[in-house]
Structure 1
Amino acid sequence: MIRVLLADDEELVRVAVAALLGLEPDIEVVAQAADGAGAVTATLAHRPDVAVVDLEMPGLTGIEVAAELTRARPECAVVVLTGHGRPGHLRKALAAGARGFLPKGSPGGALADVIRRVHAGGRYVDPSLAADALTLPACPLSPRELETLRLAEFGTPVAVIARRVHLSDGTARNHLSAAVQKLGAADRAEAVRIARDNGWL
């Protein structure tokens, strides 16, 4: 019997997936969690074989959960589910140690098949996401531009960003302007979104 943990902040989705997996003769859902920290705690307490985690959860994201479980309990295979699969997320999830990456819109039996595959030591990546990830362009931003853009993510004032990276206000502003221009964005917020979607941040 393959022991599974499910983590998703949307209760309806989590309960529905648990019910679906409950129909499988060789899979048992042994724990559920509504956020990332709960997923880590429940995994350490219940010792599932496979943890199925949502990409976007409160607290720790699915990618952060994958990284934590890979460190704390490497024998537990992590599958990341996503409502909007982006190639950048795929790269980060795999780098964090996830063994599976699957869109939530996949056919009903797909998750059970992926659970079996990763439990047997294999990997699974949605083919269309894998193809997109292979064709991602290289990051056009310099390390300094990436650093200032990362700090700008939450609307941080330029003066604060400049202090954190030990630059003058004008130089920090120039790096941010260059990042916005190189990414073809309308503003800093859009530049951050583009960089995140492509896995550069």
Structure 2
Amino acid sequence: MGSRSGTPRSGQGKTTIALSLLRHGWAALSDDTVLLCATGNGVRAHAFRRPLCVDPGAANRFPELDGPGWPASLSDASKWQVDIDRLYPGQSESTSTPRLLVLPTIADAPTSRIEPIGAKPALEQLLAQSAFFLSSRPEVADRHLSVLRRLVDQTRTHRLHSGRDVLNEPHTAHALLAPLLTGGPAPNAVSG
């Protein structure tokens, strides 16, 4: 874990969190990218770039990765392209309606924590991570912003401050996030 706070970069634990959650029975849409679509019933997330891009060193914490002979990732040849359905059969989804939005940051701390956050910081982080400014056409940017606002409005938003325990004890992410699925507070939630 580095000392950088903010949006996680490659090599800082996002895939470790995803593997940990999959190991505990969670489902996955995609590794890093989803497509969002506004519908009459809210915003739907659709799978995009389904395989996980996994550092081979992750097999030390997730022995189920070792052995299948994963191909090199198309985006980074030093990593494996791991098929979720092959690794955890039945745990990939093609679409879902988000009700919980967890935005991870890297914390230079021994333990992780989760906190509820408001709509404004959630929208700011989503905008920073999205392709919002890739279009010079105002109507496209307006539609993009509208979808992100609707996503934030339909979800409970939290920030996960990922400490070193997420990498060293992969069950940590599940223990912190599972209570949020039932609408309850996280075990160590702090008010925002």
Q: Relative to total residues, which structure has the larger helix share, 1 or 2?
A: 1
Query: When the two structures are superposed, what TM-score results if normalisation uses the length of structure 2?
Result: 0.34
Q: Relative to total residues, which structure has the larger strand share, 1 or 2?
A: 2
> Relative CO higher for 1 or 2, CA cutoff 8 Å, sep ≥ 6?
2
Query: When the two structures are superposed, what TM-score results if normalisation uses the length of structure 1?
Result: 0.33
Task: State the structure with more CA Rg.
Answer: 1
